[in-house]
Amino acid sequence: MPVTETATARPGRRAELTFKHNANHGRHGWLRLTPAYSVKLVNDILSDRAGHLRVLDPFSGTGTTALSAAMRGHRASAVDVNPFLVWLARAKTAIYDPETLRAAARRARHVSDLASSGGPTSQPPPIYDVNRWWHSDNLDYLCRTKGAIDKLEPEPGPVRDLLLVAFCRALIALSNAAFNHQSMSFKTGRASAQTRMFERRARYGSFEDSAAVVLEGAAANPAARASVHLGDARNLGESLSEGFDLLITSPPYPNRMSYIRELRPYMFWLGYLKHGRDAGELDWRSIGGTWGIATSRLATWSRSPETFFPGYLETALAHIRDSDTKSGTVLANYVAKYFDDTWQHLTSMSKLARPDAEVHYIVGNSKFYETLVPTELVYRDMLLRCGAKRTEIRTIRKRNSKRELYEYDVVAWL
Ligand SMILES: C[S@@+](CC[C@H](N)C(=O)[O-])C[C@H]1O[C@@H](n2cnc3c(N)ncnc32)[C@H](O)[C@@H]1O
């Protein structure tokens, strides 16, 4: 039986991070946080735009939108609060010349040779209960692969970036974690001798296979560079000096989903997290974050008096608070903080909008106890309050088997 790590109710947990083995890697082997339908939607929005627009994604994740925009010759900017995702999005949207790609392919072969001939090893990542994530022989292989990358390509640069992206693919392929719909679980139990043999084969091919897929993707990269910034969507003026004509983004939803939680294996291996508590701190800075310390801080959080909340949101918050004496207040604060942050983002975003700018927010509603939180209506009403001339709510799809949970494209013209 798999061991379930979290069994907390996560109303309307979205599908993006249902990492299962390699399912989280797009066609070119880049890690992806959004499902295929969302990537298609972004491409549809971009496909009928002529000219060279300034396109912004203020919650860029792995940079899928910036990549699509740059591929079409637009001037793309992206912002994310997570430094690992900023690194990955930069690697994903960079321009690689043929010589760099050939050098990376040669290095990948050397890394593989060195790792399988017992070369230097790196320390295992300081993630809690590391053997739950990787069986010891897989962990040993990954330590030797990472050790070989650090020895053969120690300096930051495009070749090291490409090797590390390939390493990210390999480390998730070899992990015991399955990110299922409602929870994350670990495969347990002893594998049969035959399974272990197959696993071994897959393992010794895995870094080189990953590198081949990543390099194929990198060769197809855009001719125009996208700029990816480490920053906070609640204060975009700090990261961006230019305005935008078109904004397309998929912000976090108010559904208690933690991106950091899902990204921990990569972030610990690559040194973006050093202690468990770092994950909680970063989640507290992330909108909608709910991991570790982020949840306990909600108990005493209070919102800023300037924030605009429509009346129906106040009613929904009161219902959530009254639904449960034990966790009603924390959950109501969680939802209130999500929209307080959203308001800060929208006010800072509207200051950067160029005349007639168009914005698309791909968002989902949620349910806490019996109370529906109509995220799409709140976005629409906040956008109107920020000066939008016109808005439209387009229903994209029903989210899962739960009634009333949908995803929407909230469109506004500023
Ligand atoms: C749904 S994901 C975006 C997925 C993205 N469209 C992709 O294809 O990878 C939401 C992103 O918002 C980021 N985020 C959360 N809070 C933020 C903040 N305050 N400022 C900027 N980014 C933030 C998270 O780190 C996460 O990457």
Q: What is the pLDDT of residue 142?
A: 93
Q: Which atom of ligand 1 is nearest to the CA of 57?
A: 6
User: Mind listing the pLDDT tens digit for each residue in 209-225?
Assistant: 889 989 998 888 777 77
The pLDDT assigned to 334 comes to: 95
Closest ligand 1 atom to residue 345 Cα is: 19
Average pLDDT, the chain: 85
For 149-158, 233-242, 255-264, 372-381, which range has the lowest pLDDT when averaged over its residues? 255-264
Which of residues 22 and 349 earns the better pLDDT score? 349
pLDDT-derived band of residue 300, with 50, 70 and 90 as boundaries? Answer: confident
Write the single-letter amino acid at 7.
A
Ligand 1 centroid distance, CA of 62 (Å):
8
- List the one residue out of 333, 343, 342, 352 whose CA is nearest residue 251: 342
Taking CA atoms only, the protein residue closest to ligand 1 atom 2 is: 61
Q: What is the pLDDT of residue 178?
A: 65
For 21, 36, 147, the CA distances from 400, given in Å and listed in that order, are 21, 16, 42
Rounded distance between C-alpha atoms, residue 50 and residue 96, angstroms:
26
Kindly state the average pLDDT of the residues 317-332.
Answer: 92
Report the percent of the chain where pLDDT is more than 90. Answer: 56
CA of 5 to the centre of ligand 1 (A): 23
What gap in Å lies between CA 395 and CA 400, rounded to an integer?
14
C-alpha to C-alpha distance for 146 and 207, rounded to whole angstroms: 10
For residue 225, give both structure tokens.
Answer: 């560079």
Give the Cα separation of 324 and 327 in Å (integer): 6
Q: Of 164, 134, 131, 171, which is closest to residue 148 (Cα–Cα)?
A: 164
Predicted confidence at residue 9, as pLDDT, reads: 29
Q: How confident is the model at residue 203 (pLDDT cuts 50, 70, 90)?
A: low
Q: What are 26-68's pLDDT values in tens digits?
A: 555 566 677 777 788 898 999 888 878 999 999 999 999 999 9
Side chain identity at residue 51, one-letter code: G
Q: What is the mean pLDDT of residues 174-192?
A: 60
Indicate which residue's Cα is closest to atom 13 of ligand 1: 59
Q: Indicate if the pLDDT at residue 181 is higher than 70.
A: no
pLDDT score recorded for residue 256: 83
**Measured in angstroms, how far is the CA atom of residue 237 from the centroid of ligand 1?**
17
Both tokens of 162, joined, read: 């490409």
Using pLDDT thresholds of 50, 70 and 90, give the confidence band for residue 311. very high
Is the torsion defined by CA of 405, 66, 211, 130 positive or negative? Answer: negative
Nearest CA to ligand 1 atom 25: 82
Please say whether the beta carbons of 89 and 58 come within 8 A. Answer: no
Instruction: Determine the distance separating the centroid of ligand 1 and the alpha carbon of 175, expressed in angstroms.
Output: 24
Q: Which atom of ligand 1 is least distant from the CA of 89? A: 9
The ligand 1 atom nearest the CA atom of 62: 9
Residues touching ligand 1 (Cβ under 6 Å) are 16, 33-34, 59-62, 64-65, 79-82, 85, 232-234, 250-252, 259, 286-287
Distance 61 CA to ligand 1 centre (A): 5
Q: Is the pLDDT of residue 8 over 50?
A: no
pLDDT at position 182 over 80: no
Measured in Å, residue 277 CA sits from the centre of ligand 1 at: 20
What pLDDT does 145 receive?
95
Q: How far is the CA of 322 from the centre of ligand 1 (A)?
A: 31
Q: How long a stretch of residues is the chain?
A: 414
Most confident of 63-67, 79-83, 118-122: 79-83
pLDDT confidence of 392, banded at 50, 70, 90? Answer: very high
Alpha helix (H) ranges present in 324-395?
A: 328-350, 375-385
CA angle 225, 230, 236 (to 5 degrees): 95
Q: Which of 81, 168, 260, 375 to mutate to test the pocket of ligand 1 (most atoms within 8 A of CB)?
A: 81
Cα 68 to ligand 1 centroid, rounded to whole Å:
17
Above 80 in pLDDT, residue 85? yes
